[in-house]
Amino acid sequence: MKTSRQILANFRGIIDSTLREGFQFSKANFSLAEQKKIFSFLLGIGVDYVEVGNPAKLEVRDMIVGLVAARNGGRTRILSHVRNHEQDVLKAIECGVDGVNILCTVDGERLAAMSRTPAEYRDVLVRNIGAAKARGLEIRVGVEDFFGQAPDKSLEIYGLADAQGVDRIAIADTRGRALSWEVARRIRGLRRRIRASIEVHFHNDLGHAVSNAVAALQAGASFVSTSLLGIGERTGITPLSSLLVNLYMLNPGMGARYDLSLLTEAETYISEICGIEMPPHLMTNPTNGFAHKAGIHLDAMFKFGPQKYEPLSPGLIGNKRTLILNSLISGKRQPAEVRAFMEKYS
């Protein structure tokens, strides 16, 4: 109970990155019309922020301008993910976004390739933060591959950004290798040293993105980066549906803040336009998310109700229940019995 209260007290919002990180998925080639449809789903669900790409590229700039116009006064804010380059920040400002997510590096090889010393790079960051603040934008500063870098190097950037009064700092598990206890330890350490809110962005290479996000919230993070269906670079990031279901299980009141009933439709749409099957482990999978096949499961459900084997009602997330009958392991049921069950628990 104490852990649940900590998570809910710390949580402040979702920063969905389907239109930025999701675009990096190997099968994602969203047309402008598809981008607008995805955006409409995110607005309908009610995510707090939508992260878009870098407007340094003309096609991305056109997409951002279109989304800013399509928002139509909703509460969801639009953030542009940019490099620590002055032109990137200026282009984002021109697009009319609500904030910039400035990505930094502390990798010596990358800095050398830019012909920048660490001190010069930090000076550029100060100027970029100042330019964004002067326009009233929200500012997040992140460091790539936080868990793969020496902590003191990242802290130089985070400390500097915090001193400049940014709204958030972001940690990224760029290679998807962090484990929940390491996440908790590192977040607690940052929370003691940094005043700004903490955002987390977990890749899923080892399958820990969701549990790491929950562990980060318990340890003091406030925002989680997600995508529909969890799509992104390589194995992707924290799926929006999985995070929202976890938060709902801790506090059903989350169902009033976010419209969970759109999740299945939204993630099914992503699977269709990417030309991929829905991952079988997601609850938004229309075929498998609430499919019941084993005889012992079916027998208990018919006798006592679906709550015996379902953590929540499928309708809550816009999905439906499937009963797989008459298979080798299912046993047999009379049609009238099946109809009565489905009518009672539809």
Helix 240-250 / helix 2-10 crossing angle, nearest 10 deg: 130
State the Cα–Cα distance between residues 174 and 177, nearest whole angstrom: 8
d(C-alpha 100, C-alpha 102), whole Å: 6
The question of whether 297 is a catalytic residue gets the answer yes
The sign of the torsion formed by the CA atoms of 18, 20, 25, 29 equals positive
Catalytic residue among 81, 201, 208, 297: 297
- Residue pair 268/241 in contact (Cβ under 8 Å)? The answer is no
Residue where the block lists tokens 């590096």:
105
Q: Please name the residue that has the structure tokens 């439709």.
A: 265
Q: How far apart are CA 346 and CA 339, in angstroms?
A: 10
Return phi, psi of residue 174, to 5°: -60, -35
Compute the distance between CA of residue 126 and CA of residue 108 in angstroms, rounded to an integer.
Answer: 19
- 313 φ/ψ sector (left φ>0, alpha ψ -120 to 50, else beta): beta
DSSP 126-182: HHHHHHHHHTT-EEEEEETTGGGS-HHHHHHHHHHHHHTT-SEEEEEETTS---HHH
* Cβ atoms of 200 and 169 closer than 8 Å: no
Q: How many CA atoms lie within 13 A of 323 on its CB side?
A: 26
**74 CB neighbour count, 10 Å cutoff:** 11
3-state secondary structure of 90: helix
* Residues 205, 176 contacting (CB under 8 angstroms): yes
Catalytic residues: 297
